[in-house]
Amino acid sequence: MDYSSLIDRTRLPKHIAIIMDGNGRWAKEQGKDRVYGHHEGVLSVRDIVNGAAEIGISYLTLYAFSTENWNRPKEEVKALMELLVNTIRREADDLKKNGVRLHVIGDMESLPVICQKEMQEAIDMTAHNDRLNLVLALSYSARWEITHAAKMIGREVALGTIRPEDIDENYFAQHLATASFPDPELMIRTSGEHRISNYLLWQLAYAELYFTPVHWPAFRKAHLLEAIYNYQQRERRFGLTSEQISNATKNTVQH
Ligand code: FPP
């Protein structure tokens, strides 16, 4: 099916978050080792970043390395770090040319120094772009992020900058790594697992979740379009009733 012609360009999600899963299983199916799967996964990253920019998505967040991934075999962690460094080094010019602005969320200080340096260079190089914001979640977990925010706010309370009773959801969200991004409306996880895995727990509160059996190295722009089409068939209620939503839509159309 050609989802490209079916998608309503006026109702695109502004922010799509993806859990790129299944590199290892895909590689095993090809009779190759896990690292081969990660290398092929980079081709999907390229295709999805370009695809998202072409479609008109403003924010794309990719779960590239979780806090828990540090516990993988040492050789795999080393290969993933090298892959990240080499990919960013190779792609930075193209990101800049294509209007993509790079951001990183996560515990940057826990990354190898060379990785921090390459990321920072690419972040600085692309800082004036505004076509697509590409957010890499690196050494990231939502519990780490929420704990980090709580510590910052705790310090502010101790210093007397804010009173506990004045802390609201908005104030808390401003202390998350994603403070300057809108919440994702759509979260995609590849490879058939139906879990959130410590990803953007606060930000996904009202997101539509989309799970596909396709492994990440096989995921392409056509699959992204299918996910967006699926998202557009859903009714987002934010805790309201269906009737309230349709009345609100009618009123918006009338006024
Ligand atoms: C999950 O597959 C994937 C990862 C843990 C790493 C994702 C990294 C990349 C796609 C490459 C680098 C990314 C960028 C942004 C340059 P898995 O290993 O958990 O697969 P499995 O569940 O089948 O074992």
Using CB atoms within 10 Å of the CB of residue 84, give its burial: 0 to 12 exposed, 13 to 18 middle, 19+ buried. buried
Ligand 1 near 139 CB (within 6 A)? no
Residue 23 CA, ligand 1 centroid: distance in Å:
5
101 has a pLDDT exceeding 70: yes
| pLDDT tens string 29-88 | 999 999 999 999 999 999 999 999 999 999 999 999 999 999 999 999 999 999 999 999
Closest to 87 measured CA to CA, from 24, 27, 129, 134: 134
Q: CB burial class (10 A; 0-12, 13-18, 19+) of residue 196?
A: middle
Instruction: Give the Å distance between the CA of 178 and the centre of ligand 1.
Output: 21
Task: Determine if ligand 1 sits within 6 Å of the CB of residue 232.
Answer: no
> Does the pTM exceed 0.85?
yes
User: In this structure, what token pair is assigned to residue 105?
Assistant: 């969320």
Mean pLDDT of 110-124: 97
Ligand 1 pocket: which of 38, 45, 138 to mutate (most atoms <8 Å of CB)?
38
Find the 86 Cα to ligand 1 centroid distance in Å.
Answer: 15
Nearest to 38 by CA among 71, 89, 72: 72
**Residue 129 CB–ligand 1 contact under 6 Å:** no
Tokens 């990321």, residue?
119
Active-site residue list: 21, 69
Domains in the chain, CATH or no CATH each:
13-254 (3.40.1180.10)
Quick one: pLDDT band at residue 238, thresholds 50, 70, 90? confident
pLDDT classification of 8: cutoffs 50, 70, 90: very high
pLDDT bucket at 255, cuts 50 / 70 / 90: very low
